[in-house]
Each structure stands twice: as structure tokens, then as C-alpha cells.
Amino acid sequence: MNGLSLRDVVVRYGSATAVDGVSLDVAPGSVVALLGPSGCGKSSLLRAVAGLEPLAAGTVSWDGVPLAGVPVHRRGFGLMFQDGQLFAHRSVGGNVAYGLPPRSEARVASLLDLVGLAGYEPRGIATLSGGERQRVALARALAPQPRLLLLDEPLSALDRALRERLAVDLRAALLATGTTAVFVTHDQDEAFAVADRVAVMAAGRILQVDAPADLWTRPVSREVAAFLGYEAFVPVDAPAAAPLRAVLEDPPPSGTLALAEGAFVVGRSGAVKGVVRGVSSRRGRSEVRVEVDGIGVVTALGPVGGRWSDGDVVELGVEPDAIAVLDDA
Ligand SMILES: Nc1ncnc2c1ncn2[C@@H]1O[C@H](COP(=O)(O)OP(=O)(O)OP(=O)(O)O)[C@@H](O)[C@H]1O
């Protein structure tokens, strides 16, 4: 197997198990996100791959060669953290040039261009915004062309709008350089925006690894679905599921339907009725909490400026893209 290969990796702190038997392959040139709630072991797994944390069991290999005993600086891996840990006393150019041979000005310029900071070489680190610092940290991490780049929550210190933009730019930079990467995040949207494949973790284990679209449409369990944001579950053969099945292209004979926010749309005529239990305004839409018989309270979407009051009975249309099918096996 070329690229990174993890087999039954275990990381322990004293008697506590942080990573509990993880196996995962990362093909050359691909980006995998480790996605999971706080404390599920994402950072511990990343640190074990880097060589910063000893393995209690299992193997970490690169191109089929086990890395046990290979120290951090001999692995050829790059690291980037939430706080980019730039050298405060060096200029932007000096930070990116760190680890490059002398007279690498052209390479520094092209890396800064890649991360959207063309011409920033002379700037002092203290003069940069948080987002610009993380862009510099990315350029510096990419500079030595690491065979694997390990990113631990690189965007989580930034505000939401900036995070969304940087996630797109980060993916573009990784693709443009053909960099193999493992990216740790607790943010579903960020994982989906950056990675080719997303590994969902809980309690030290990987529950599912799939391409973003496959993960969204075919979560393997309720636990994965709930973590992705599915908020209600209804057996396929329940009477309440009939109007949902009716809109699915290929309705399953058995299993459970999982409903995400937006599975129901207020203001579209439909076969389902719900009782309004709360309304909040969002950019470009309204979120209407509705109680549906046999399903429970779910978040329906409605037009901006819609007027509903608690207790109103509303007709609901059904949006198939917000419904997943879970096998009950
Ligand atoms: N150095 C350490 N010593 C003892 N326990 C640790 C250490 N580092 C992590 N842990 C514990 O291991 C578990 C996994 O932590 P880890 O940081 O890997 O999770 P995470 O998913 O990255 O969480 P977060 O997103 O909050 O960083 C947690 O219960 C944590 O308290």
C-alpha cells in the first residue's frame, strides 16, 4: 500500500485509551479529514502518526514501511496547528523560507501567491490578521514539500466566515501541490469542504470513512447520522414515513429514514402537516421548528420573513436531499 497506512493503532495515556484500534489508509495525493467531537482522540491519532505520541499497539507505515522507531524529524511529514506557531521575529518571507535552501526567493514568492498573499514577504508577523497568519503557516508547512501534511484544527481559531473561505482555499492549495494530507476538525462543514474522504471518529474509534457525498447520503449508523446533523429517525415501514418514501427516487423496503434540517419545507404544499414550535431568522431563510406526528420535532426551512406563530398548523413539502436511509443491520 502506497501512502499512509494505519493498522490497529492504539494510543494510551496511563490507563486511559485515547485511540482504540484505528485502521486507515490515505492514498498519495489525497486528503482525509478526521472528524469527531471534542475528546474523541483525533489529535492523539494525528500526533501518533507524526511520531509525537508513542503507540501502545498497532503500526503506522509509509509506502509499506513501518515507522516504529523513526523520530518525528525523520518522517518527512509536515505539521500545522490551530495556532500556526510562526516565528514572531522573522518576516513573512523569512517564515516561509525557513527549512528551504538559501536563495529560495522565487519559491517563497510562488508559495505566498498560492495561499493568496503575493507580495507579503517583508511584512512582520505582528501586523497580520489571524487568517493571514494561518495562510503563512500553510505556505511554510508546504514549502519543504512534505510527503504527508498533518493539520490539527488549522482553522478553528478563526471566525466562521473566514473559516469557510479558508477551507476552500486550503483545499485548492493542497490539490494544486498534490499534497497528501490528514486534517483534524470537529466541524462537519469544514471536513466536507476540505477532504476527499472523511473519517468519522467517536470514543477513539473510526465509525465510517467515505467521500463526503456518500457519508451524507449513506451514514452507516444512527450515531454517525446524528453527528452529521440528522435530527429525527423514523422506521421506513411506519405510517409517518409514507410521504417521505414517496419523494425518494429509490425507496428502500426496510431500514430507517434519517431526517436532516430542511427535510421539510414550509410553504410548499405537501402531504405532511406540522405544528409550529418556534421560529428563528437566518440569512436567506427562516428555520421553523415543527412537530410532526410520528416523527417528532424537526427543523423545517421556510422563506425569509414568513410569519408563523407557535401552534400554527402548516403544510410541509419534503426535500429528498435531506433524507438518508440507514440499514438496520
Ligand atoms: N497528554 C495527555 N495526557 C493525558 N490524557 C490525554 C492527553 N492528551 C489527550 N488526552 C486525553 O485523550 C482523549 C483524546 O484526546 P484528543 O486530544 O486526542 O481528542 P480530540 O478529539 O483531538 O479532542 P479536541 O478536539 O478537544 O482536541 C481525551 O480524553 C483527552 O483528555
Q: Which of 9, 10, 44 to mutate to test the pocket of ligand 1 (most atoms within 8 A of CB)?
A: 44
Flag whether pLDDT at 329 surpasses 70.
no
* Per-residue pLDDT tens digits for 58-69: 999 999 999 999
CA–CA separation, 260 and 243 (whole Å): 16
Ligand 1 nearest atom to the CA of residue 186, by list position:
25
Separation of CA 187 and ligand 1 centre (Å)? 17
Separation of CA 44 and ligand 1 centre (Å)? 6
Q: Check pocket membership of 185 for ligand 1, CB cut-off 6 A.
A: no
Structural element, H or E, at residue 46? helix 42-50
Distances (CA, A) of 259 to 190, 292, 314: 21, 12, 18
Structure confidence at residue 197 (pLDDT): 98
Q: What is the DSSP string of 92-106?
A: HHHHHHTTSPSS-HH
Q: Which of 19, 42, 201 to mutate to test the pocket of ligand 1 (most atoms within 8 A of CB)?
A: 42
Structure confidence at residue 268 (pLDDT): 76
CA–CA separation, 249 and 93 (whole Å): 54
Structure confidence at residue 328 (pLDDT): 76
Separation of CA 24 and ligand 1 centre (Å)? 19
Q: Find the mean pLDDT for residues 200-211.
A: 97
Structure confidence at residue 318 (pLDDT): 95
125 Cβ contact list (under 8 Å, min separation 6): 86, 87, 88, 90, 91, 92, 95, 133, 136
Structure confidence at residue 158 (pLDDT): 87
Flag whether pLDDT at 25 surpasses 80.
yes
Q: Check pocket membership of 134 for ligand 1, CB cut-off 6 A.
A: no
Q: Check pocket membership of 22 for ligand 1, CB cut-off 6 A.
A: no
* Per-residue pLDDT tens digits for 228-250: 999 999 999 999 999 999 999 98
* Per-residue pLDDT tens digits for 81-91: 888 789 999 99
Q: Check pocket membership of 44 for ligand 1, CB cut-off 6 A.
A: yes
Neighbours of 141 (CB within 10 A): 25
pTM of this prediction? 0.92
Ligand 1 nearest atom to the CA of residue 44, by list position:
18
Ligand 1 nearest atom to the CA of residue 152, by list position:
22
